[in-house]
Chains A and B, each alone.
Chain A
Amino acid sequence: MAAVKSTSYHGEDRRLVSIEREVGNAVRKWVLVVIGAIAVNAGAFIWGAATLHTTVNVHTVALTSHESQIRQIQATQRTDVDARRDFELRDQRIAGLERSLDRLDQSLNTLAGLLNGVAVDVAVITGKKKDQGG
């Protein structure tokens, strides 16, 4: 009780001064801890952002490479399409040629029939002449 009743030079309660000092120390300590932790977190954030930036760069390079590959594949596909179209046109031409050949065959057959008929007629006529003449 004596310590409580005793006063400082300015008449303040010494125990109160002691409590204020302790509270002040505790507040100072935790302010420092929070500032320190925030500073380290800021560092970690900057590091994280830098790492992310590097990762994005790496992915961008990879994406560019992939885009290039995709373009090459598309070009190859385009060549394939062109080739397929060429084949189809060739098939169409061959089919047309076959049709023409068929028609020519029919025409030749017809012509052969006509010639045969003429030959028969000539033979008959000639035969008749021979028969008539013999």
Chain B
Amino acid sequence: MSITLVVVAAVACGIFDRVRGSDAGSTIRALCTVLAGNVLVLLAAGEYTPFALVGGFLWWLGEKPGWGTPMGMYAGYDPAPTNSYEKWQVTDALKKNYRLAVAVRGLMWGAPMLVLYHWVPQVVVIPLAMAVAFPAACEFGQLQRKHIDFKKGDYHWVTEFTRGAMCAGLVALLSQQVVW
């Protein structure tokens, strides 16, 4: 897979992630989520596979649990009250360490993709890539904080676009599908 194609796919995944998190219609958001997962499986496989379509819906499934509390803590908001932690934040480490929590949430997002392991073994890199891309995008958002107008929703553009694009790039790199 050529580097140009990987860059195009990464930008597409960034846009898909942003639209997924936007206030667009639910159909568009669901379609963008499915397509992002679709593209990630295609990037991992390095060739067309019909399992990419299944991967899209598995990606949508992994997206379901919320992550507002740890991401809010990342953005500098006060720690959430005890009763507003996400359901998957079951340990103290996940409740207090928001970096760890976001990384674990990234793993959770990509975990359903492992269903496809038998047919597309390269999908193992997807949860790993998301576990890296999710906190990395949040860190990048924090670095760009001074230039971001929170009221306009630019923070979401920075974090979500970066997360989608970075995840796609990492998937292509880790699955060794890039031809330099």
Given the complex of chains A and B, what is the CA–CA distance between A44 and B30 in angstroms? Answer: 19
Given the complex of chains A and B, what is the CA–CA distance between A40 and B57 in angstroms? Answer: 14
- With a cutoff of 8 Å between Cβ atoms, the chain B residues found around residue A40 in the complex are 35, 38
Beta-carbon contact of B48 and A33 below 8 Å: no
Contact of B103 with A by CB under 8 A: no
Contact of B50 with A by CB under 8 A: yes
Beta-carbon contact of A37 and B38 below 8 Å: yes
Classify chain A: how many residues form its interface, as a range. Answer: 10 to 19
Considering only CB atoms, which chain A residue lies closest to B37 in the complex?
Answer: A37
Contact of A29 with B by CB under 8 A: yes
Given the complex of chains A and B, what is the CA–CA distance between A41 and B55 in angstroms? Answer: 11
Given the complex of chains A and B, what is the CA–CA distance between A45 and B51 in angstroms? Answer: 12
Contact of B26 with A by CB under 8 A: yes
Beta-carbon contact of A48 and B30 below 8 Å: no
Given the complex of chains A and B, what is the CA–CA distance between A29 and B28 in angstroms? Answer: 9
Beta-carbon contact of A48 and B35 below 8 Å: no
Beta-carbon contact of B48 and A36 below 8 Å: no
Proximity bits, B27-71, A CB within 8 Å = 1, else 0: 100110011001000100001101011001100000000000000
Given contacts A44-B52, A48-B47, A52-B47, 6 further A-B pairs with CB under 8 A are A28-B27, A32-B27, A33-B34, A37-B34, A45-B48, A45-B50
